[in-house]
Amino acid sequence: MNGAQVRWGIIGTGNIARASFLPGLREAGGGVAAVVGSREGIRAEKFAGQHGVERGVEGYERVLEDRGIDAVYITLPNALHAAWTMRALAAGKTVLAEKPLCVSPEETQAVLAAAATASGRLWEAFVFPFQPQFERIAELLRDGAVGEIREIQSSFHFQVRSPANIRWSRELAGGALNDVGCYPVQLATLLFQSEVARAEASASWSPGGVDEAMQGFLAYQGGQALLFSCGMSRPYDTFTRIVGGEGEIRVRNPYHPQPGDPVQLRRGSMVTKERPTRDEHSFAAAIRHIHAVLRSEAEPRYLAQETAMQTALALEALRGAAQRGL
Ligand SMILES: NC(=O)c1ccc[n+]([C@@H]2O[C@H](COP(=O)([O-])OP(=O)(O)OC[C@H]3O[C@@H](n4cnc5c(N)ncnc54)[C@H](OP(=O)(O)O)[C@@H]3O)[C@@H](O)[C@H]2O)c1
């Protein structure tokens, strides 16, 4: 670390950096947004001025060349995550890279190999496992509240209205599975801790050739199953059921919970409801954790190495299954 505060560099001037990462960084405390890099210098300076970043620079490389930067947040289109993550790791930075970390198992292997020998740590920006809601769900499951987990049913839909949005670009690895379907898959990776045995999927395709919506099924070697539905053309919906042999947990908003969102435990005739989500931005808990690790105050949790390959293999199996159905 370069001082008492973790000094962050941001690569890309995207919407999520403005709307989620920076408010989360402010709430987490212990870190500052020191520099933002853009393909356009003027855009970087404007973004820095408007959103409280110390300075803006032209070119992502300049963020990595800055020796005063401890950690880098990569908020680029999906097709660019892997290359910039590897460059950031090679520059000795700790990295928080947007999801999905990579767009194939081969890319994932290369990125994880780079992370294995790097001085910095690597996290993929699935921030929900760090939040109190997921911690409570994990605790209920550990305590056997629903018995052995058998199945997850999960949806994640929202509406992407602008045709210029990166999510509609095949070249940039857009599509519903990469954008939102990866959340149910990551949840299954975390909860099942098992490898995928079989995949089935059906997709509807945009004129530009990305999956606009996908419904899928993954069978895991441990005998569990994930049933999911995702898409970019329906109102927001992320309802999830985690079903065990003795009961189930129903979660209204599993991936971006708001205060007041319930977690419901149902076991026989017993139904209990809790609202574990705090009133803070979704990234705050993850960033607080990264700061604690960089200060040697905590052991790292949910590093990319723990889940990224299993999730990448599952996503690849689903892509293959959906393509076969064309
Ligand atoms: N973890 C979460 O909760 C969450 C939520 C939403 C999105 N995401 C992820 O965050 C990433 C960015 O999403 P976003 O909604 O912030 O996207 P966005 O607003 O379109 O931002 C993407 C940024 O990437 C840079 N870029 C580089 N090459 C580009 C190209 N060829 N076309 C367009 N932009 C390019 C641009 O910055 P410059 O032009 O300044 O270089 C742009 O501002 C995606 O991977 C997405 O999956 C994560």
Whether residues 236 and 247 fall in one domain: yes
Is ligand 1 within 6 A of the CB of residue 179?
A: yes
| Helix and strand totals (H; E) in the chain | 11, 15
Q: In terms of domains, do 204 and 72 share one?
A: no
Atom nearest to 20 CA in ligand 1: 3
Claim to verify: residue 150 and residue 116 sit in the same structural domain: no
pLDDT at 67: 96
Residue 1, domain member (yes or no): no
Residue 212 lies in a domain: yes
In angstroms, rounded to a whole number, what is the distance separating the alpha carbons of residues 82 and 111? 6
Query: Does residue 294 contact residue 1 with C-beta atoms inside 8 Å?
Result: yes
- Predicted pLDDT at 3: 77
Q: Are residues 19 and 136 in the same domain?
A: no
User: Is 76's C-beta closer than 6 angstroms to any atom of ligand 1?
Assistant: yes
Residue 206 lies in a domain: yes
Q: Is residue 191 in a domain?
A: yes
Mean pLDDT of the chain: 97
Residues 254 and 140 in one domain: yes
How far is the centre of ligand 1, averaged over its atoms, from the C-alpha of 54 (Å)? 20
Q: Is 93 a catalytic residue?
A: no
pLDDT tens-digit series, residues 252-300: 999 999 999 999 999 999 999 999 999 999 999 999 999 999 999 999 9
Active-site residue identified among 46, 93, 99, 273: 99
Q: Specify whether 145 is located in the same domain as 292.
A: no
Q: Do 107 and 155 lie in a common domain?
A: no
**For residue 39, is it within any domain?**
yes
Any atom of ligand 1 within 6 Å of the Cβ of 77:
yes
Number of domains, the chain: 2
| Same domain flag for 143 and 214 | yes
176 and 294 inside one domain: no
Q: What is the b/e burial string over 232-244, where b = at least 16 CB atoms within 10 angstroms of the residue's CB?
A: beeeeebebbbbb
**Which residues are 228's β-sheet partners?**
154, 216
Judgement on whether residues 240 and 296 belong to the same structural domain of the protein: no
Walking along the chain (326 residues) 10 residues at a time, the average pLDDT comes out as 90 97 97 98 98 98 98 98 98 98 98 98 98 98 97 98 97 98 98 97 97 98 98 95 98 96 96 96 97 97 98 98 87
Q: What is the pLDDT of residue 224?
A: 98
- The answer to whether residue 110 sits within a structural domain is yes
Residue pLDDT, tens place only, 101-130: 999 999 999 999 999 999 999 999 999 999
Beta carbon of 16 within 6 Å of any ligand 1 atom: yes
Cα 107 to chain center, whole Å?
Answer: 17
Tokens of 58: 């032209």
Tell the residue nearest (CA) to atom 5 of ligand 1: 16
| Domain interval for residue 86 | 6-126+285-303
Q: Are 121 and 133 contained in the same domain?
A: no
**Pairing mode, if any, of strands 6-11 and 31-38?**
parallel
β-pairing verdict for 248-251 and 240-244: antiparallel
Q: What is the pLDDT of residue 2?
A: 75
Looking at the structure, tell me whether residues 139 and 216 fall in a common domain: yes
Give the CATH number, domain containing residue 168.
3.30.360.10
Would you state the pLDDT for residue 160? 98
* Core vs surface per residue 136-162: b (16+ CB within 10 A) or e: bbeebbeeebbeebbbbbbbbbbebee
Does residue 198 lie in a domain region?
yes
The CATH number given to whatever domain includes residue 113 is: 3.40.50.720
Does residue 143 lie within any of the structural domains? yes
